[in-house]
Amino acid sequence: MWWIVFVGLFLLADHGSGARLGIHGTHFTYNGHRVFLAGINKAWEHYAYDFGNGQYNGVKARYEHVFQQLQAAGANSIRVWIHIEGESSPKFDSNGHVTGTDNGGTLINDMRVMLRAAQQHNIFVFPTLWNGAVNQNYHYRLNGLIKDTGKLNSYIDHALKPMVLALKDMPSLGGWDLMNEPEGELIPDLTSTDPCFDTRHLHNSGAGWAGKLYTPQELLRFFNWQAAAIKEVDPHALVTVGAWNGKVNTDNFGFHNMYKDSCLVKAGGKALGTFSFYQIHSYAFNGHFGTESPFMHNFGAFGLHKPLVIGEFREKNGAGMTINQLYDHAYNGGYAGGWGWSETDGNMDNMLQGLNHIRNYHSGAHGTIHVQIH
């Protein structure tokens, strides 16, 4: 029988136990128990300047306070942003190649300190590497990695693989989120005989709001190569991307799942470079959720065979649903997790309310388990 580990009272394993967050079918597991990822997006304290170059010292207390708040509310996970567009990490040379994790050489240790604090409060951390929802002054750095495979390889060799290698045994590392909302820079209205690369169904969808910059092939190659590199270093690592909504993450409702395994491998050529679980964001527009919103359906309607986390949502754009109802639907609708948005935007008290609302949920084969490791 599979049980739910939801409340944050289980203790993350020490380094020697080998316990890792894993996947069984369409659910997460930890130490043999089913886990619902209940949590939030922080997602940053100082946008693009939290990690590397000794910067974490200035925000450490804030992160630890958030971990404490989450644990007190029975939560168990958080999404945290790292590079964004390359403002302060990784380290680039004048030609746009990556030569290290950051100029000061502290990025890995900064993340390790953060992950150790999260472990003390039983929180799984999902670092989000890049951001496609905006196009700002340093986007040329990220652009080089997406367009130029030589530059992408320099990032993989000199920053990504060293990060994964150094942090893979941290029990609070839940998984790697390669990019936030890449569809902000996706080109819509592209015609292809291959559904993976055809974006006509995104006509007037809002895709490309940050600039119509990249074809599906370019973005999927970018993800395929990074996912493969992560798994080469850490075969147990979990990898995802934070999709802007369900229009790009399901073959149902008249859309195409551009993030399915076959599309990623077709674009990048690396068999390992697939996602472990899916993540979609959902906000109401003009007071209504779209037909593709997870808040309009249970998980089964998406026809997916991997876990699906509702990676961003909030009461303000909840189509009249309260935060309690939003978290409730994520839990009872068959989804593998729900992360409200966001502590940075001042929604912490509201999200904590929703997390407290579902902290003791159990029904049928779902029971609340307190796993004591130490």
Specify the pLDDT at position 351.
98
Bridging pattern class, strands 37-41 and 33-35: unpaired
Domain boundaries, the chain: 36-358
Whether 10 contacts 373, CB under 8 Å? yes
Specify the pLDDT at position 94.
98
Burial pattern 203-241, b for ≥16 Cβ within 10 A else e, equals: eebebbbbebbbbbbbbbbbbbbbbbbbbebbeebbbbb
Check if 181 is active-site: yes
Specify the pLDDT at position 12.
66
For residue 342, whether the previous peptide bond is cis, meaning omega lies within 30 degrees of 0, is yes
Residue stretches of the chain with pLDDT short of 70: 1-18, 362-374
Whether 5 contacts 33, CB under 8 Å? yes
Choose, from 181, 183, 315, 343, the residue flagged as catalytic: 181
pTM of the prediction? 0.94
Of the CATH numbers 3.30.70.3270, 3.40.50.300, 3.20.20.80, 2.60.120.260, which one belongs to the domain with range 36-358?
A: 3.20.20.80
| Block residue for tokens 């003009």 | 286
Query: What is the token pair recorded at 200?
Result: 């006509």
Three-state DSSP string of the chain: CCCEECCCCCCCCCCCCCCCEEEECCEEEECCEEECEEEEECCCCCCCCCCCCCHHHHCHHHHHHHHHHHHHCCCCEEEEEEEECCCCCCEECCCCCEEECCCCCCHHHHHHHHHHHHHHCCCEEEEEEEECCCCCCCHHHHHHHHHCHHHHHHHHHHHHHHHHHHHCCCCCECCEEEEECHHHHECCCCCCCCHHHCCHHHCCCCCCCCCCCECHHHHHHHHHHHHHHHHHHCCCCCEEEEECCHHHCCCCCCCCCCCCHHHHHHHHCCCCCCCCCEEEECCCECCECCCCCHHHCCHHHHCCCCCEEEEECCHHHCCCCCHHHHHHHHHHCCCCEEEECCCCCCCHHHHHHHHHHHCCCCECCECECCCCCC
Write the CA distances from 246 to 28, 249, 283, 310, integer angstroms. 20, 5, 11, 10
Choose, from 45, 183, 292, 312, the residue flagged as catalytic: 312
Cα dihedral: 33, 34, 35, 36 (round 10): -160
Whether 21 contacts 175, CB under 8 Å? yes
Specify the pLDDT at position 32.
86
Check if 185 is active-site: no
Closest by CA to 25, choosing from 372, 367, 363, 336, is 336
Whether 255 contacts 246, CB under 8 Å? yes
Angle at 331 between CA 329 and CA 337, to 5 degrees: 115
Angle at 52 between CA 176 and CA 224, to 5 degrees: 30
Specify the pLDDT at position 19.
84
Distance of alpha carbon 49 from alpha carbon 320, whole angstroms: 35
Residue 5 CA from chain centroid, whole number: 20
Specify the pLDDT at position 360.
83
